[in-house]
Amino acid sequence: MPVFYLLQDLVQVPADDSWLAASERMRVAGLRFPKRRNDWLLGRWTAKCAIRAFLAQAGKSPPGCGDLEIRSAPDGAPEAFDSGASAPVSIALSHSGGKGFCVVGPPGHALGCDIELIQTRNPEFIKDYLTDEEQAVVDDAPSDIRPLWATLIWSAKESALKCLREGLRRDTRSVRIRVAPQHAPGWNPFMVESLDPVTHFYGWWRDEGLFVETIAAGLPMGEPLELLL
């Protein structure tokens, strides 16, 4: 399954609201706190840019940003609409530290993505949210890269839980991350085993300086491809 991604910075979000659908303008008007508003706008902007680039690459005429609408499904997952009709894409969204991350694929597929600032996690966090096997992976890593491994495993769980469309409502220890102890520059594969019921997901991750980015899907996928605007 081909999967594409796009990263955008908060500074790239237009200052005006002409790119928002009418319902989105109403929604953002009700967001009182600047960080929440900025994160919401960054996510929508990144998603719309990614969808338009994905459709253009597929040889289809991309809709205008104002015609695209990113809605939240009842379970919280983002869904794309074009002039009120379901858009022919599957998407996943994440943001962290002023960066927006969107993954786009063919319609009807389970996708999840996450971007996380690499940081040291306290022992209580590791114990509460990681399985015993995952804790051992972090503990066995050299001390200087333990923050990377802890952040990677946490981010991969976030992506997998988005595939399940359950998010953090579900116990994070109910998904197990299998990742090789060595990694190369660029994208690296990982696997996910979800319990109750047993389900497997396929993932890719990379270390981008201050951030870790992860992508998970319900079907095997090739290395993610960057979308060009």
Q: What is the pLDDT of residue 149?
A: 96
**Domain final residue pick, 85, 112, 139:** 112
Side chain identity at residue 2, one-letter code: P
pLDDT digit string, tens, across residues 20-34? 999 999 999 999 999
Residue 52 lies in a domain: yes
Q: What is the pLDDT of residue 78?
A: 96
pLDDT digit string, tens, across residues 134-150? 999 999 999 999 999 99
pLDDT digit string, tens, across residues 3-18? 999 999 999 999 999 9
Which of 57, 22, 38, 34 is closest to 227 using CA atoms? 57
144 and 150 Cβ atoms separated by less than 8 Å: no
Same domain, residue pair 141 and 100 = no
Instruction: Give the domain CATH number at 24.
Output: 3.90.470.20
pLDDT digit string, tens, across residues 49-61? 999 999 999 999 9
Q: What is the pLDDT of residue 198?
A: 86
Domain ranges, residue 118: 114-217
For residue 47, CA distances in Å to 119, 126, 185, 204 come to: 26, 31, 26, 19
- How far apart CA 3 and CA 213 sit, in angstroms, is 14
Q: How confident is the model at residue 197 (pLDDT cuts 50, 70, 90)?
A: confident
Residue 170 burial by Cβ neighbours in a 10 Å radius (0-12, 13-18, 19+): middle
Same domain, residue pair 73 and 162 = no
pLDDT digit string, tens, across residues 78-110? 999 999 999 999 999 999 999 999 999 999 999
pTM of the predicted structure, to 2 decimals: 0.95
Same domain, residue pair 107 and 8 = yes
Same domain, residue pair 71 and 131 = no
- Maximum C-alpha span of the chain: 51
Residue 14 lies in a domain: yes
**Domain final residue pick, 112, 141, 173:** 112
Rounded to the nearest 10 degrees, the angle between the axes of helix 146-163 and helix 132-140 is 150
**Domain final residue pick, 112, 145, 178:** 112
- How far apart CA 228 and CA 226 sit, in angstroms, is 6
Residue 222 lies in a domain: no
Same domain, residue pair 124 and 205 = yes
**pLDDT beyond 90 at 172:** yes
Token pair 């997901």: residue:
201
Same domain, residue pair 128 and 182 = yes
Element (H, E) at 159: helix 146-163
Residue 225 lies in a domain: no
Q: What is the pLDDT of residue 144?
A: 93
**pLDDT beyond 90 at 210:** yes
Same domain, residue pair 82 and 158 = no
Token pair 């981010």: residue:
155
Same domain, residue pair 196 and 142 = yes
Same domain, residue pair 16 and 71 = yes
Q: What is the pLDDT of residue 170?
A: 86
Residue 13 lies in a domain: yes
Q: What is the pLDDT of residue 183?
A: 87
Same domain, residue pair 169 and 181 = yes
Same domain, residue pair 105 and 125 = no
- The neighbour count for residue 107, using CB atoms within 10 Å, is 11
Q: Mean pLDDT score of the chain, rounded to an integer?
A: 95
Residue 229 lies in a domain: no
Residue 147 burial by Cβ neighbours in a 10 Å radius (0-12, 13-18, 19+): middle
Counted domains in the chain: 2
Which of 206, 181, 15 is closest to 113 using CA atoms? 206
Same domain, residue pair 143 and 95 = no
Q: What is the pLDDT of residue 181?
A: 82
